[in-house]
Amino acid sequence: MKLEHLRYVITTVEQGSISKAAQSLFLTQPHLSKIIREVENEIRYPIFLRQSDGIALTQKGAQFLLHARRMLNEADSMFALSHEPEQTHHFSISTVRTSLVLDCFLQLLQEHQDDPYLQFSICENGNNTAIDDVYTQNAELGIVYLLAAERKNMFDRLSRRGISYHRICPLPHQIIISCEHPLLELGRPVTREDLYPYGMLRYGRGMVFGSENADSIWYNSFLDLNRIGRTVYVYDRATMHNLLTATDFFTLGTSPAIYQESLHKIVSIPFTESSVNQEAIVEMGYIHLDGTPYTEVCSRFIELLNEAYAPGGSREPIHNG
């Protein structure tokens, strides 16, 4: 099987139809259809369901897509070595949306600020993307949030892909608001009842833990969402920070990031009420593909995470020199 044919299959998935994929690849539709049939004959199962309105992946086709992307990533990395200086440092991470990770990534960049050659990448999305990126080797390391209610499902999924999970720290429930929010003037711990008069910011459904059900368990462990009169859904972390800073809305989150007050003008208040659903307990961990070595840069990044957030680690920013 040719690597180029794998690229054709991936392009077909991305375009949603063979005709659109053929146009983008500058191929005729019959020729692309022939190549896809040859690939399917070679692997002995169909990749696509042909439908009147386009194509859809079969269940095995979805698995094929993960393997194909992994093979292409490995091939691209191998060929790219010939164009890079010998001393180039590489590191790629796929993470849930959290300032906790970005703070440590910034510290890593500071440590390598004098390196003449480096290629770092960071992708912020959700648990599902982090798992897929680690499996396809699009990322060397993944950072995930593990919800107690989803623990077995998460571990089963990681085990099937040969991915190991390593706990970093528990994440206590927090209320996140602007540094100038009226709640800070109460002079006592904030309760659920204090929050209901204010608007709530939250990520789109399924964006926190990878499924709408898991997100629902988590959000409802804090509050009766039916009593929230104003809700704004956001789909990226920059928008979340900007709205928190400029309004009296609040959001629900986890441990405070190292630089959140100085950089984003927001603060985290511990949620002190004890009646939090045990299924909604959250921890942060990193995932890594079994059998692949840790690079020096990756190992250092894990050290930074543990130093900043693991129990007993330092919560202070790490400065060089």
| Domain membership flag for residue 318 | no
Residues 95 and 140 in one domain: yes
Residues 248 and 303 in one domain: no
Containing structural domain, residue 121 = 89-168+282-309
- Nearest CA-CA partner of 249 in 197, 184, 206: 197
Residues 175 and 250 in one domain: yes
| Domain membership flag for residue 231 | yes
Residues 19 and 58 in one domain: yes
Which stretch of DSSP H or E encloses residue 269? strand 266-270
Residues 193 and 177 in one domain: yes
* pLDDT tens digits for range 47-67: 988 877 778 889 888 888 888
* pLDDT tens digits for range 68-96: 887 887 777 677 655 655 555 678 999 99
pTM for the full model?
0.69
| Domain membership flag for residue 319 | no
Residues 53 and 181 in one domain: no
| Domain membership flag for residue 31 | yes
Q: Please give the pLDDT value at position 321.
A: 27
Confidence band of 318 (pLDDT split at 50, 70, 90):
very low
Residues 179 and 267 in one domain: yes
Residues 176 and 262 in one domain: yes
* pLDDT tens digits for range 198-256: 999 999 888 888 778 888 888 888 888 899 999 999 988 889 989 999 999 999 887 67
Confidence band of 315 (pLDDT split at 50, 70, 90):
very low
| Domain membership flag for residue 320 | no
Q: In what order do the strands lie in the sheet with 251-253?
A: 251-253, 174-178, 266-270
Residues 45 and 59 in one domain: yes
Instruction: Using the 3D structure, point to which of 82, 115, 138 is the last residue of a domain.
Output: 82
Instruction: Using the 3D structure, point to which of 63, 82, 101 is the last residue of a domain.
Output: 82
Give the integer Cα–Cα distance in Å for 171 and 310.
10
- Nearest CA-CA partner of 126 in 96, 99, 101: 96
What would the mean pLDDT of 307-312 be, rounded to a whole number?
82
Residues 102 and 227 in one domain: no
Count the neighbouring beta carbons within 10 Å of the beta carbon of residue 173: 21
Give the integer Cα–Cα distance in Å for 182 and 165.
40
Q: How many domains does the chain have?
A: 3
CATH number, domain of 75, equals 1.10.10.10
Residues 276 and 175 in one domain: yes
CATH number, domain of 132, equals 3.40.190.10
Residues 176 and 41 in one domain: no
| Domain membership flag for residue 274 | yes
Instruction: Using the 3D structure, point to which of 27, 49, 82 is the last residue of a domain.
Output: 82
| Domain membership flag for residue 94 | yes
| Domain membership flag for residue 154 | yes
| Of 174 and 314, more confident | 174
